């Protein structure tokens, strides 16, 4: 492959990433039902014609963004399956999530989009069932980890499923507040976040 072709591919990929990033912001600002391709193109600083070269519809663009977010949830689910050392696993995964929340706006925005999508229950997207299923798998995975930790007396007692839901609801709330307060938000440490659970 010659350098001109490689350069063109890199430029094309860079444009695609820019469109996706702008679209995330536009969907968060307007919600999915109230966003148009024209809104996204305007926020990205490109023509609608150029946007259509990359994505054939608002739905295909939104679903690609959601697929990325779903992949992140699936990755967390897998990480919670290491139940041999439950406390260390929970601390490690939570530490990485908090690092991403602190240093990668994409994590916060993905959490916001998923919450918004679930709340609005858009019928336009085929991914709603997949998001709900993935959320339940993630909660179940953490619930089993918590149960293992309770048996080893490193986690507080209580319904492990409820404690897992509390964990994710608190993370979701953290993402919402971080986005809302922006630079005024101060993220607590993972250790403080986990105080409700770890003995």
Taking only the tens place, the pLDDT of each residue in 145-171 is 999 999 999 999 999 999 999 999 999
| Per-residue pLDDT, 190 | 96
Q: What is the pTM of this model?
A: 0.86
| Per-residue pLDDT, 171 | 94
Dihedral in degrees, nearest 10, Cα atoms 18, 63, 122, 163: -100
Taking only the tens place, the pLDDT of each residue in 72-103 is 999 999 999 999 999 999 999 999 999 999 99
Dihedral in degrees, nearest 10, Cα atoms 78, 193, 177, 70: 0
**Domains defined for the chain, CATH in brackets:** 1-56 (1.10.10.60), 58-199 (1.10.357.10)
Residues of the chain with pLDDT under 50: none
| Per-residue pLDDT, 126 | 63
Measured CA to CA, the distance from residue 189 to residue 3 in angstroms comes to 46
């Amino acid at each position: 492959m010659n350098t001109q072709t490689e350069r063109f591919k890199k430029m094309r990929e860079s444009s695609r990433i820019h469109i996706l990033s702008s679209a995330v912001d536009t969907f968060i600002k307007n919600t999915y039902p109230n966003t148009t391709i024209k809104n996204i193109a305007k926020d990205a600083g490109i023509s609608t014609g150029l946007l259509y070269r990359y994505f054939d519809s608002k739905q295909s663009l939104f679903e690609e963004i959601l697929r990325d977010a779903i992949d992140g949830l699936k990755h967390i689910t897998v990480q919670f399956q290491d139940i041999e050392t439950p406390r260390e696993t929970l601390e490690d995964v939570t530490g990485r999530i908090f690092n991403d929340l602190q240093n990668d706006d994409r994590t916060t925005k993905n959490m916001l989009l998923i919450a918004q999508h679930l709340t609005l229950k858009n019928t336009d997207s085929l991914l709603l069932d997949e998001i709900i299923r993935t959320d339940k798998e993630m909660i179940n995975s953490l619930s089993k980890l918590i149960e293992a930790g309770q048996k080893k007396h490193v986690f507080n007692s209580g319904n492990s499923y409820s404690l897992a839901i509390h964990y994710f609801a608190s993370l979701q709330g953290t993402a919402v507040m971080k986005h809302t307060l922006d630079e005024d938000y101060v993220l607590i440490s993972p250790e403080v976040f986990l105080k409700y659970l770890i003995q």
